[in-house]
Amino acid sequence: MLGEAYLAAGAFEKGAAIKGAAICKEALIASDRTQFALGMGLSTRSWAELPQAQGESVLAKRELLIAAELFAAVGAEFELARTRLELADVDRIQQR
């Protein structure tokens, strides 16, 4: 997703992270309006990258769990697996 790319670039440039967050939020709103569960999951997972990058692992985990539920509901196994990997990463960081 475009939002993910901007968030990744935000590791180097603050303006890119802000733009990435805005794109993720717009995608989430559009997906929610159309009840596009896969899009909601993708947007929510991307959105979770922002608090994770800011060290807010509890919020990131909450968003990732929501994304995982959405992926499970529509049978998006690959996306569910990616989300579980990110959840494991958050858990690892929380245990430090």
pLDDT digits (tens), the chain, 96 positions: 544 544 555 554 556 666 777 777 888 888 889 999 999 999 999 888 888 878 889 999 999 999 999 999 999 999 999 999 999 999 998 887
- State the pTM of this model: 0.79
Indicate the number of domains in the chain.
1
Domain holding 6, by residue range, is 2-94
Other C-beta atoms closer than 10 Å to the C-beta of 65 total 15
